[in-house]
Structure 1
Amino acid sequence: MVMDGPFPDSGVVPGEKQELKDWHNYERQREDALKTGPGEQGAPHELKEGLEKERHDLWNTNGFNALLSDQISIDRSLRDIRHIGCKSKKYKSKLPTVSVVVPFFEEHWTTLLRTVKSVVNRSPSNVLKEIILVDDGSTIKDFLKEPLDKWLATNAPMTQVVRLKERSGLIQARQEGAMVATGDVIVVLDSHVEVMNDWLPPLLDPIADDYRKVVCPLIDVVNKDNFGYYPQDNGGRGAFDWRFFYKRLPLYKKDEENLPEPFHWFIMNGNLYFHNFHLESYFDQNLMFWAKGIATMQLFISFLVGKMLIVTCFDFRRNF
């Protein structure tokens, strides 16, 4: 049956009053708390001596310590550093479904799998509709072809891979993924991130109220050398400097006093965001890289949509 409205897959009615639900997966939290080993709990790790050449070769290919990534579980645990008020929050009992779009180009094996694994294992199964990986013309890494398909069939069967015949750039790759998405809400992620437990409800709840909202999480950092997890240290408001580099500024006092509630802002990191409408279709398809892309997107949102929200009860762990 085809349903009308902005959330046809789930049938959620925007703004409809609902009972609230505790979405926390306490069993998963307990399992993660018991995990030990390299990189568990987001702890930094170091390679043993004698692996300098292998480390150097993989670093030159990937731009980070890929050899160390291979020694860390693709389902590693991450400590919960959210505001204490987040841990008791409840959200709408019925949420829109989600299509997660992940563009990648020559991504390293274990960082890509860790991204997929964290999304699969830390998402409510009735909310995660699908994962769409978009291969933007990778040619030099054979494991991104048939081996990836086989791994996904076993470990993430809700995933499909869209392979572009030639490299088209990040913006076009996102568009290709968005065009085949069937969930109510499109989530765009980098190909080297780790999501935390219970990540979706805080981000979907505001969109269920108003489908025109675009939401973005706080974004923390995974160190490219030791894969330690470090929270962002200089606030949550996005900004650009005069060289067009993305920066973070301290929160306004009123927003800080209102934590852990979301706050409105008009600049975000354009690599990680949630939205209900096909925002990607408003990008210039000739834009190849993310800096120009996020500027285009944010101008569109600010002037035509005007509803951008930073959600503080969820932090992404973004590598590097």
Structure 2
Amino acid sequence: MTLYHRTPRRYLHELILIDDCSADVDLLPAMLNLKLPPFMRNSSTPQSPTTPTTNYASLHSSLNASNSAPTSQPQVTIKTARNTRRLGVIASRNRGARLVTGDYLLFLDSHCEVNVGWLEPLLERLAIGAVAVSPVLDSINAESLEYAASSKNLMGGFDWNLHFHWIPRTQSTQSQPQRRDQYNQQQQQQ
């Protein structure tokens, strides 16, 4: 939910959460503080691989109110869907992509979080003509839980098959936008 809380409201049109048939059917609604509708539960009735999409926008007044955006900002629609059998990452992403009504699409896995100021550099690259962009990916050490900023000498990119790769930054790419949010700046000063 860091995406929701750390993204300026003016940039959020909707959030689409896909549950790929996790073992805990109450996990997604619990994350959103919601009661799971009966049709989203596993049942013995034969069903298609996917269940109907639920638009919880009307139930999210408290979630929207908790974001620090001014009340004049539009509320964010939150859509959830639960696969009735495990389809995998790509099929679940494709399902989510079919539900999109906004101008841009971002895939964010459940283990990922965003930091302050993460979106603006991506939107800047898209505004000047990029078709696909990748954020700077920082990491957290699994043993010490220390935050580690990514290397300034590498940038994420895609090959022609849209596979992600780390690419060395060259002289010409050094001037291209790269997010350095407040947290990274604080870490560098210490």
Aligned position for 1:215: 133
TM-score (ref. length: structure 2): 0.62
Aligned position for 2:125: 206
- 1:93-104 pair list within 5 angstroms: none
Mind listing any 5+ residue stretches in structure 1 that lack a counterpart? 1-115, 263-311
Aligned position for 1:227: 145
The change in CA–CA distance for 1:120 and 1:238 in structure 2 (over 3 A counts) is closer
Aligned mates of 1:218, 1:145 — CA distance in 2: 27
The change in CA–CA distance for 1:216 and 1:238 in structure 2 (over 3 A counts) is closer
The change in CA–CA distance for 1:145 and 1:193 in structure 2 (over 3 A counts) is closer
Aligned mates of 1:196, 1:255 — CA distance in 2: 23
Aligned position for 1:180: 99
TM-score (ref. length: structure 1): 0.39
Aligned mates of 2:3, 2:118 — CA distance in 1: 9
Aligned mates of 1:248, 1:215 — CA distance in 2: 13
- 1:1-320 pair list within 5 angstroms: 116=1, 118-139=2-23, 141-150=24-33, 153=60, 154-155=62-63, 158-210=77-129, 213-233=131-151, 235-238=153-156, 248-256=166-174, 258=175, 261-262=176-177, 312-313=178-179
After TM superposition, give the deviation of residue 149 of structure 1 in Å. 4.2
Mind listing any 5+ residue stretches in structure 2 that lack a counterpart? 35-58, 65-75, 184-190
After TM superposition, give the deviation of residue 227 of structure 1 in Å. 2.6
Aligned-partner residue type, residue 150 of structure 1:
N
The change in CA–CA distance for 1:122 and 1:176 in structure 2 (over 3 A counts) is same
After TM superposition, give the deviation of residue 195 of structure 1 in Å. 1.3
Contact between 2:18 and 2:83, CA under 8 Å: does it hold in 1?
A: yes
The change in CA–CA distance for 1:138 and 1:125 in structure 2 (over 3 A counts) is same
Aligned-partner residue type, residue 226 of structure 1:
S
Contact between 1:234 and 1:249, CA under 8 Å: does it hold in 2?
A: no
Aligned mates of 1:146, 1:190 — CA distance in 2: 17
Deviations 1:1-48, CA, capped at 9 Å, x for gaps: xxxxxxxxxxxxxxxxxxxxxxxxxxxxxxxxxxxxxxxxxxxxxxxx
Structure having the larger proportion of residues in strand:
1
Contact between 1:235 and 1:248, CA under 8 Å: does it hold in 2?
A: no
Q: Secondary structure at the match of 2:120?
A: helix
Q: Secondary structure at the match of 1:189?
A: coil
Q: CA RMSD in A?
A: 3.1
After TM superposition, give the deviation of residue 228 of structure 1 in Å. 1.9
Q: Secondary structure at the match of 2:135?
A: strand
The change in CA–CA distance for 1:134 and 1:228 in structure 2 (over 3 A counts) is same
Aligned-partner residue type, residue 229 of structure 1:
Y
Contact between 1:137 and 1:164, CA under 8 Å: does it hold in 2?
A: yes
Q: Secondary structure at the match of 1:254?
A: helix
